[in-house]
Structure 1
């Protein structure tokens, strides 16, 4: 444990709850705090990566932006786990559907996170590491989705370093291996959690279907995100 705040987080030790909800967009973190939490206190504004702590149904919860891509969430989640004594991080983001099982507004629970990233090379492992979610958080999310009649599909997602891929066949190749959806952060989050002995889960809302060209409007995305937020809030410990 090093001294806090860090170069990326202005919070002092104890100002962040044991469970952190982490959307990519810091303004989404602000929306969650203002619309779902009570007695909120802002703990971070460094680099405009907004973070708040409050209560939800009596539970102390924090919410903080994680940015775009594995380098960004890699920094923030590492510091939360290792410097701020956070036990659980639940990423709540958007994804592009790769599977015919998924449609716009569906929820994906990322049981595993395949990746085209080189993030795991830092561990110098004698093989390939499989980034996976916390079983406890995953099972709780599945149960909460069922209780609320939310269509949630559980399985393997792709965390990609590339948004505009020069290889136009890449998604079809991943699809052939059973990948459900593509996003850009979960694998790094899961690896950081594994190294720290902590818990992580990625919940995603399908906002577009790259292989068919379908996508949600801004208003639709707002409504769909709310369902995902509620699941995350309910399973927070």
Structure 2
């Protein structure tokens, strides 16, 4: 543990639980901790990337923001996996729907993450490595959703570096290949987990639609994702 604290996380050894929920927005991390955890303590405030540890249904869990994009979640997930001995990271975030039958407020679980990014190049694999969720976390999340009575879509999602792009119709290829939704973090998380021999999963709430004029407000994005969060917490409790 000689690498901690890190330049990005001020927590001490043992401050993080074995399972960490990771929303992009640090204020969503604060909301999750204050709404669902007991005995909450703040373990990170560096760069405003709030992290908390507490008790959920008798089990210690943590939650921390990841920031936006693969470079940001790449840093935080790497440090949690390698320096803080975290075993499981469950991303809880928002996504833009791509398919017509995926709607705003639907919950999507990413079985795999297609990537538009150079992030995978660092691993020096010939060809194209397929970033996948951990099957135990995935199957547990699906079962938890059934028990909670929340319908979910499970399938391929897209992780993309650029939110604004000059590329015309950049999602059309993924749409015709059945990719459910687009976000900006899961590909890096899945790759980092695979490299570390750890486990990761991405659970998303649809906040807008790429091909339809539908979207949530910023406040709804921050606090309106209760079903997704409940699935993630129940999954984390069984991890």
| Same fold at TM > 0.5 | yes
2:15 aligned with 1:15: yes
C-alpha displacement at 1:218, in angstroms? Answer: 4.5
Contact residue 97 and residue 208 of structure 2 kept, 8 A: yes
Corresponding residue for residue 143 of structure 1: 143
Q: Per-residue deviation at 1:177? A: 1.2
How many angstroms does 1:147 deviate by?
1.4
Instruction: Please give the secondary structure, in 2, of the residue aligned with 1:189.
Output: helix
Q: Distance in 2 between matches of 1:50 and 1:221?
A: 17
CA shift, 1:145, in A, is 1.0
In 2: Cα distance, 1:219 partner to 1:27 partner = 11
CA-atom RMSD, angstroms?
1.2
TM-score by length of structure 2 reads: 0.96
Distance apart, 1:168 and its partner CA: 2.4
TM-aligned CA deviation for residue 198 of structure 1? 0.2
Structure 1 gaps, min length 5: none
Q: Aligned partners of 1:113 and 1:2: how far apart in 2?
A: 33
Measured against aligned partners, the alpha-carbon deviations of 1:172-198 in whole angstroms (never above 9, x if no partner) come to 121011110000000000000000000
Counterpart residue number, 2:227: 227
* Structure 1 segment 202-213 matched on structure 2, within 5 A: 202-213=202-213
Check conservation: 2:28, 2:223, Cα contact below 8 A.
no
Name the TM-score, length of structure 1 as normaliser: 0.97
Question: Cα offset for 1:219?
Answer: 5.5
Unaligned segments of structure 2, at least 5 residues: none
**Secondary structure of 1:227's aligned partner:** helix
SS state of the match for residue 157, structure 2?
strand
Task: Name the structure 1 match of 2:195.
Answer: 195
Q: Using the alignment, how far apart are the partners of 1:216 and 1:72 within structure 2?
A: 24
| Residues 32-43 of structure 1 aligned to structure 2 (within 5 Å) | 32-43=32-43
Contact 2:104 2:209 in 1 (8 A): yes
